[in-house]
Amino acid sequence: MTSLQKDILELRKKKALVQMGGGEAAIEKQEAMGKLTARNRILALLDENSFQEYDLFVEHAARGFGMEKKVLPGDGVITGTGTIFGAPVCIYAQDFTVAGGSLGLMHARKITKIMDHALKMKVPIIGINDSGGARIQEGVGALAGYGEIFYRNTIASGVIPQISVILGPCAGGAVYSPALTDFVFVVENISKMFITGPNVIKTVLGEEISMEDLGGARVHAEITGNAHFYAKSEQECFEQIKKLVTFIPWNNKQRAKAFPPKEPIFEKTVNDIIPSDPKQPYDVRDIIKSIVDDSDFFEIQELWAANIVIGFGRIHGETIGFVANQPMVMAGVLDCDSSDKAARFIRYCDSFNIPIITLEDMPGYLPGVDQEHAGVIRHGAKVLYAYSEATVPKITIILRKAYGGGYIAMNSRHLGADFVFAWPSAEIAVMGPEGAANIIFRKEIMEAEDQDAMRQEKVKEYIEKFANPYVAASKGYIDAVIEPRETRAILMHALILAKSKEESRPEKKHGIPPF
């Protein structure tokens, strides 16, 4: 055996030892909790044989509290590069079998190194979080590591896609890295995110709550809005990530990959979806499915703020971002949460060159003391800001109701929409016919012998005069009133026309959005 052959055998032994992470017992414990190991997660997500690992032999440099005697393989995190459907990505996965995946300084530096690599190479970064938090024995070194990760999350924002996958605990300061990224994925009974855990809450406030009820997957997908995708298993989560990657570009200098165009396959036609009674709800996702290629709509934050629908679809093979009021939930009104949801998605699409189609059917902003005190003015202004700031192609279809401030907020001509179309069923007015009639014709109604009959007559008069698309069209605020069956063809035409759109903004460091 030559010297080189001996060296190769020694390398293989060292690699095999480090790749075992915390050892067989720790791996068995991880699998007993229904969790894959960090390495198997990476291999399950990436294309077969595409993973190239870096910094395998990095070791912690901690001294004190007995740390100098401890060997932590890979310092509890695996980093490298690979591909998903051939698209290159950078990736890291915290290894809970090694010191609970705790973050020390070298652990953090492995992460920041692969983040720097992703930013330099202009490819997406995927982080799989499964960690007990900061490594207490390393003190301020661990805190410094978190700070350096947060800084890079911020610098990379809007330049490369950043994806966080919560597959275990993610507590304390660690939660701020996922919060700074573009998309957060959680899995039922596995993901846990919170600033302070149940024990601290019990000690400080005397309240008892389980980890699941405090910061489980369902909580963040449905109540807080911190998670964008919810899955029942790790494998389902990986399939969601793979699908997302097909819709988004590698970086902000490119467009998303185009696919071969396909006709919608949804069984209902656009004409069949909206009820004749304007007060009856319907599922706006059916409208989207009747428009997009292969009727394939990839919804984001499905469980949170469901009165607005956001997600990706394709028209003629090109990725499109959809923002749509959902009449099935709260009549599709805008409130604090739905405003945040829409505004953030609009800004994401604008950052990554994804055209935005807005489907409008809503009676305005949600009234009430709770909303006013929760800051609906500030939250609602985020939608105005996001649409006004965006320079990607912006197209609006007014399906039915477009009342008051809601009409303006949902990508109206006045906020810089490139095209605004309306169906004949569109109602564009300052407020709904009933409320408007009660104000405008109050005196006539009060003096009438049959007030109900007079009210109905005035409501009808208001509808005929204002609750239609033609007054707005006569002023040029609507580009065309179209038949529903024409929608897909007109959208394709508008998107082709707007593909080479150029629009500048005044030079500035950055704006001051209503956070």
Domain range enclosing 39: 3-247
Residues 207 and 306 in one domain: no
pLDDT digits (tens, 9 = 90+) for 372-391: 999 999 999 999 999 999 99
Residues 72 and 201 in one domain: yes
How far from 208 is each of 133, 169, 187, 204, 351, CA to CA, in Å? Answer: 22, 19, 23, 11, 42
> Would residue 79 count as lying in a domain?
yes
Residue 164 CB coordination number (10 Å)? 26
Residues 379 and 437 in one domain: no
pTM over 0.85: yes
Residues 453 and 479 in one domain: no
DSSP codes joined into one string, 47-104: PTT--EEE-TT------STTGGG---GGGGEEEEEEEETTEEEEEEEE-TTTGGG-B-
Domain end marker among 232, 247, 262: 247
Please state, rounded to an integer, the average pLDDT across all residues of the chain.
92
Token duo for residue 241 = 């990530």
> Would residue 373 count as lying in a domain?
yes
Residues 167 and 229 in one domain: yes
Residues 299 and 422 in one domain: yes
The whole-angstrom distance between residue 1's C-alpha and the CA centroid of its chain comes to: 56
> Would residue 114 count as lying in a domain?
yes
Residues 237 and 103 in one domain: yes
Residues 64 and 199 in one domain: yes
CATH of the domain at 205: 3.90.226.10
Q: Are 169 and 130 in contact (CB under 8 A)?
A: yes
Residues 123 and 195 in one domain: yes
> What total number of domains does the chain contain?
3
pLDDT (0 to 100) of residue 70:
80
Q: Which residues contact 391 (CB under 8 A, 6 or more apart)?
A: 350, 501, 503, 504, 505
Average pLDDT, integer, range 284-298: 97
> Would residue 514 count as lying in a domain?
no
> Would residue 336 count as lying in a domain?
yes
Q: Which residues contact 123 (CB under 8 A, 6 or more apart)?
A: 81, 87, 88, 89, 90, 160, 250, 251
Domain end marker among 215, 247, 279: 247
For helices 105-121 and 140-156, the axis angle rounded to 10 degrees is 10
pLDDT (0 to 100) of residue 220:
97
Residues 172 and 72 in one domain: yes
Residues 120 and 223 in one domain: yes
Tally of residues, the chain: 515
pLDDT (0 to 100) of residue 258:
96
> Would residue 511 count as lying in a domain?
no
> Would residue 253 count as lying in a domain?
no
CA distance 388 to 350: 11
For helices 234-247 and 38-45, the axis angle rounded to 10 degrees is 40
Q: Are 281 and 328 in contact (CB under 8 A)?
A: yes
Residues 67 and 93 in one domain: yes
pLDDT digits (tens, 9 = 90+) for 15-72: 898 888 888 998 999 999 999 999 999 999 999 999 999 999 888 877 777 777 787 8
pLDDT digits (tens, 9 = 90+) for 307-320: 999 999 999 999 99
Token duo for residue 302 = 């499905």
Is residue 173 over pLDDT 90?
A: no
Is residue 493 over pLDDT 90?
A: yes
Token duo for residue 22 = 């915390």
CA distance 461 to 478: 22
> Would residue 303 count as lying in a domain?
yes
CA distance 353 to 390: 10
